[in-house]
Amino acid sequence: MMEKKTIDLSKSVYDIVNANPEVKDIMCDLGFTEIVKPIMLNTMGKMMTIPKGARVKEIPLSTIIDAFELSGFEVINTPEQLQKQQEEKMKALSADLGKSSDLSSSDREALLKSYVQRL
């Protein structure tokens, strides 16, 4: 069975195209015509993500995701998925803070420092 290819929307366009060259054609068909120019891909593509490009080009991200899925890709790390992950992390941190009421002042401080480092 063929392994499903993934597109990680948190990665740069450059990295995505290098991993999956056929993405370039899909994106060009969607209106990202500059992607076929090597200099644009090698410069802006290294800084640009697909969600950022969608906002710039005013192309609905859902349209782009649908096109990738129709081409056999699994799309991961969508803005919605990342937001949900962040909310789950915050709930877990809140639960941990609630449990920390019986800790000493220095233990609470160390716990808070670890939370800030995770963010």
- Say how far apart CA 49 and CA 19 lie, in whole Å: 14
pLDDT for the residue numbered 22: 95
Other C-beta atoms closer than 10 Å to the C-beta of 48 total 19
Stretch 8-29: mean pLDDT, rounded?
95
* Tens of pLDDT, residues 39-70: 999 999 999 999 999 999 999 999 999 999 99
Report yes or no on whether pTM surpasses 0.75.
no
Confidence of residue 100 (pLDDT cuts 50, 70, 90): low
User: Using CA atoms, how far apart are residues 60 and 55, in angstroms rounded to an integer?
Assistant: 8
**5-77 carries CATH number 1.10.3910.10:** yes
User: Where are the chain's structural domains?
Assistant: 5-77, 80-118
Helix (H) or strand (E) holding 18: helix 13-19
